């Protein structure tokens, strides 16, 4: 099955669950809704996911981070995937990108940063087990990077820096200290 099929399948499930939840909550009296929403699911085990490893669950979550145009936007969900709080947790990599990018493209630095990290993550972590499933996602991200950066040599250099960051991130056990 293609990556795009997985992506749409996940999106359909998300939409279905939202619609299903809203219909159920609308038909349940307010007093019962409080009980339902405050009580945890009876048999939902806590899932301890390590995004530093190639697992299908990680792939599904990761594919959901990509926007329709191929970018990986610097949003809370993106930062959380890498166990980070915000752009400041990527400050060293951001500074490297700023050195390479024209002043006219400064407004795109965060999108370039997040998309470069995503490309590096695909190549270094996900390609190990899911190369075929990731190929379309990777191609879209590379295409948008070429367009945003506009210089193939600069793009290669920035992606190499992102790969170094991913390598350090994967090898760092607590996932919190690299910059």
99-111 tens-digit pLDDT: 888 766 667 899 9
pTM of the model: 0.70
Over its C-alpha atoms, the chain yields an Rg (Å, rounded) of: 19
Q: Are 46 and 121 in contact (CB under 8 A)?
A: no
Q: Residue 93, Cβ neighbours under 10 Å: how many?
A: 22
Instruction: Determine the Cα–Cα distance for residues 170 and 42; give it in Å rounded to an integer.
Output: 34
Q: Give the residues across from 66 on adjacent strands.
A: 72
Q: What is the pLDDT of residue 146?
A: 94
* Residues 64-85: tens digit of each pLDDT: 999 999 999 999 999 999 999 8
Q: Where do the domains of the chain lie? A: 1-45, 47-171
Query: What does residue 66 show for φ and ψ, rounded to 5 degrees?
Result: -85, 135
User: What six digits make up the tokens of 6?
Assistant: 């997985």
Q: Between vectors from CA 112 to CA 142 and to CA 150, what angle results, nearest 5°?
A: 65
Residue 156 reports pLDDT greater than 70: yes
């Amino acid at each position: 099955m293609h990556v795009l099929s997985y992506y749409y399948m996940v999106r359909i499930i998300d939409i279905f669950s939202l619609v299903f939840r809203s219909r159920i909550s609308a038909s349940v009296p307010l007093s019962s809704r409080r009980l339902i929403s405050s009580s945890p699911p009876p048999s939902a085990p806590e899932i301890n996911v390590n995004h530093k490893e190639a697992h299908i669950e990680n792939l599904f979550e990761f594919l959901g981070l990509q926007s329709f145009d191929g970018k990986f936007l610097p949003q809370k969900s993106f930062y959380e995937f890498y166990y980070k709080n915000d752009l400041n947790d990527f400050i060293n990599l951001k500074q490297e990108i700023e050195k390479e990018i024209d002043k006219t493209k400064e407004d795109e630095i965060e999108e370039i940063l997040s998309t470069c990290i995503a490309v590096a993550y695909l190549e270094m972590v996900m390609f190990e087990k899911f190369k075929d499933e990731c190929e379309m996602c990777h191609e879209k991200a590379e295409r948008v990077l070429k367009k945003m950066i506009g210089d193939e040599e600069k793009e290669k250099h920035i992606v190499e820096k992102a790969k170094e960051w991913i390598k350090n991130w994967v090898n760092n056990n607590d996932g919190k200290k690299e910059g």
